[in-house]
Structure 1
Amino acid sequence: MAETTKAETTESNWAAFAAAEPELAATVEARFGAFTHHVLATLRKDGSPRTTGLEVRFLGGELWLGMMPDSLKALDLRRDPRFALQANPGEGTGMGGGDVRISGRAIEVDDPRVKAAYTKEVEPPEPFHLFRAELTEVTRTYVEDDKYLVLQVWKPGAALRTVKRT
């Protein structure tokens, strides 16, 4: 098996992202922590998008997605693990910290020890599906100095890219 170099990596867990870009990771976690419910996009059987509400957790260096048993979003992710997750923008136009989105692949976790550790921290209703996120992109959009629209994009194995527009 060929060794994968950092430049070839296309996915990463939360801990690797936070180590690579600690300031952006802290901002993203704060935005998700500001509200309980966020928007998850998955793909239906026919390939069309499905958006649903979701609670997320950042625990033990991972981004976790917990879901009710046999929910449509869980079935979507079992069929096609690709997802996009957008932090709740909140009320009004404040959006402190900007608009943040995470894309990746959801990996279902069946290990009873891992689920038990998660349950100890989160206390979800039983039974439940638990997915660990492998990140393919983290994006933040915000306004700077009431003048610039700033877009930050991070992808595994690449430097943080920042674009400013007037």
Structure 2
Amino acid sequence: MTSFTWADFQAAEPAFAESVQQRFQQYKHHVLATLRKDGSPRLTGLEVDFRFGEMWLGMMPNSRKAQDLQRDPRFAIHTNPGSGDSMDGGDVRIGGRAVEVTDPEVIRRFVAEAKPPEPFHLFRVELGEVVRTYVDGEELVVRTWRPGAAVRTQRRR
């Protein structure tokens, strides 16, 4: 299976990638879905970071979400909806695989720039799907990107 990074997404669909990243950067905390050992879903809060052409997920040492991803790297993350009814920028959902980074040089570089609380687990996102949903006038717009395919846009009234 080919790995698709944030930089790959940016190269394939620059405007879409920018709108997705801006939506994540509106708020600090988002919702991560992982799979528990028994296969049931777990939802937890999480911060997302974009650096070096990658999307990163950092977690406290031995947290349940980190243990879930170490066992099964599949995940989905949903942007914070914000307060009120506005949903400024719509909402974004990303699914894929979170691969734990153990290379000391990559971790050192990340720490030097991001300055996260240490110790921590660091995961690099491999994109499987990016979906942005928003309202445009009277229509609900759903834009979907998958690696190797063009963006698909659906409009509903």
Instruction: Give 5+ residue unaligned stretches, structure 2.
Output: none
| Residue in structure 1 matched with residue 154 of structure 2 by the alignment | 163
Distance 1:122 1:25 in 2: 21
Alignment-derived partner of residue 106 in structure 1: 98
Moved over 4 A (4+): none
The alignment partner of 1:95 has SS state of: coil
Which of 139, 150, 159 is the equivalent residue of 2:141? 150
Deviation at 1:138, TM superposition (A): 0.1
Distance 2:2 2:23 in 1: 24
Once the 2 structures are TM-superposed, how far is the Cα of residue 126 of structure 1 from its aligned partner?
A: 1.1
Secondary structure of 2:110's match? helix
TM-score of the two chains, using structure 2 as the length reference:
0.97
Which residue matches 1:77?
A: 69
Higher relative contact order (CA 8 A, sep 6+): 1
1:28, distance to aligned residue in structure 2 (A)? 0.7
TM superposition shift of 1:125: 1.2
Give the one of 22, 35, 39 matched to 1:43: 35
Alpha-carbon distance between aligned partners in 1 of 2:125 and 2:85, rounded to the nearest angstrom: 29
In structure 1, runs of 5+ residues without a counterpart are 1-8
Identity %: 62
2:89 paired residue number: 97
Q: For 1:32 and 1:72, locate their aligned partners in 2 and report how far apart those are by CA, in whole Å.
A: 23
* Pairs within 5 Å for 1:6-155: 11-145=3-137, 147-155=138-146
Q: CA deviation at 1:11?
A: 4.2
Deviation of 1:10 after TM superposition, in Å, equals 5.8
The answer to whether the 8 A contact 1:10-1:136 is kept is no
Deviations 1:92-135 (A, max 9, x none): 12122111010000000001110011111111111110000000
- How far apart in 2 are the matches of 1:66 and 1:125? 10
2:133 match: secondary structure = strand
Matched letter for residue 106 of structure 2: V
CA distance in 1 between counterparts of 2:79 and 2:59 reads 17
Give the number of equivalent residue pairs: 157
Q: For 1:12-64, what per-residue CA distance to the aligned partner results, in whole angstroms no more than 9, with x for missing partners?
A: 10000011111111111111101100000000000000000001100010000
